Each structure stands twice: as C-alpha cells, then as structure tokens.
Amino acid sequence: MNTYALEKVVLIHTRECFSWTCARLMQESVAQLENAIGCMRCQLETVEPRVGHWAIHCAWNSIDAMRASLEHVFQPAFDALIAQDALLSIQVCEANSAGAAHGVR
C-alpha cells in the first residue's frame, strides 16, 4: 500500500435545474469524505452552482483509501444523480493538471 498524499479533483457537471439538489448532495458527500479513513482533506469548490459545475478537491493517504472513497461515498452520490437524470459528466483529474485548473475558477 502506498503512503504518500494522493490528490485528485473530481469535476462534476449536472443539469442546471437540479442545482439545489446537487449542492446538498455534494456537501453531504464531502462531509462523509472528511470522516472517511484515509482521507486527509476534502473540500467542495463550487465552480458555478447555477449552471451545475462542481469541483471536489481531495487528498488521500493511499490509493486504497481513494478507491474506497470513490466506491462508498462518490458512487452512491453519482447513482442518485443518474436516477434523477441530473448527471451530465464526471472527470477525475490530478490536482495539478490542466483539467483540474480549468474546472476550478
């Protein structure tokens, strides 16, 4: 198991009409991640909530912790967005990548 800080930015694009529902879901997911084993920090960076652009910046202490977070926290949130026909796209980027910089304004 790796023991370095693994930083990722999860970019989420949802339909505009679901902005309040998505905001609550993103806030709940981040709160769960902050208490998850192996999560060193997690922050919701609301890019453009009115148009459904969200960025969640997280750091984990291992790849296993990141995978567990994606499986147990993010996946149920994404499933809920899919069930509401609200999810348009998800992108996971390295924290220092061009994609992450583009998503966080």
The pLDDT of residue 99: 60
Q: Which of 57, 27, 64 is nearest to 43 (CA)?
A: 57
95's CB contacts (< 8 A; 6+ apart) are 7, 8, 9, 57, 59
Model confidence at 89: pLDDT above 90: yes
CATH classification number, 1-18+31-88, choose in 3.50.50.60, 3.30.70.100, 3.40.640.10, 3.40.50.1000: 3.30.70.100
Mean pLDDT, residues 77-104 taken together: 81
Model confidence pTM above 0.95 = no
Model confidence at 104: pLDDT above 60: no
* Residue pair 6/60 in contact by the 8 Å Cβ criterion: yes
Model confidence at 73: pLDDT above 80: yes
The pLDDT of residue 91: 92
Mean pLDDT, residues 31-59 taken together: 85
For the chain, the structural domain boundaries read 1-18+31-88
CA angle at 104 for the pair 103 and 105, rounded to the nearest 5°: 110
Query: How far is the first Cα of the chain from the last one, in angstroms, to the nearest whole number?
Result: 33
